[in-house]
Amino acid sequence: NLYNTETRMRCAGIPETEIALALDQQRAFFAARRDASAADALASITRAASERRVLADWLFPERVATGGPKQWYDVLDPDFDPRPIWAAYRGRSFFLFSEFDDSTPTGTAVARLRETAAAGARRIETLPGAQHIGMRAASICDGDVARADAFHPDFFSVLDGWLAEIAGDARS
């Protein structure tokens, strides 16, 4: 989420100092989720950040929810690392990333997958000129799905190629 927040804020033209404060506030939120003793620090930074009008849409709550309905940021595990799972996985895997992904840092994710020792067939591809869900995009700031008008021209052919590869192996 920090990557997404930073990317979207930069695309919105928000100054770096404001971006840094919003990211610090989100980090404080996750720290308070890990350890209740960090709640005061979260409240303090949230109050300071709330004074900046430009940050209103970027801040997490001042307190971590303990009951009632959960929001998406309440259920994220900021410490989750999928690499041990992928290292242990013995089946086939296909990872399709997008060049202009504002939600997942493509370069980091691809590098980590390549570093992860895994048995089984692994295929990793990146669609140039595509955003997070495979729609066409001209830049990382063009990732809003509401503005997307079509899937990347190779999106379905890449998926079809993977499926044909699996089907061919199954016939062997």
With contact defined as beta carbons under 8 Å apart, do 143 and 80 qualify?
A: no
pLDDT digits over 148-166, tens only?
789 999 999 999 999 998 8
pLDDT digits over 78-121, tens only?
888 888 888 888 888 899 999 999 999 999 999 888 888 655 56
pLDDT digits over 32-85, tens only?
999 999 999 999 999 999 999 999 999 999 998 877 778 888 887 888 888 888
Average pLDDT, the chain: 89
Three-class HEC string of the chain: CHHHHHHHHHHCCCCHHHHHHHHHHHHHHHHHHHCHHHHHHHHHHHHHHHCCHHHCCCCCCCCCCCCCCCCHHHHCCCCCCCHHHHHHCCCCEEEEEECCCCCCCHHHHHHHHHHCCCCCCEEEEEECCECCCCEECCCHHHCCCCCCCCECCCHHHHHHHHHHHHHHHHHC
* pTM of the model as a whole: 0.85
Task: Please tell me the predicted confidence (pLDDT) of residue 87.
Answer: 84
- Residues above pLDDT 90, as percent of the chain: 62
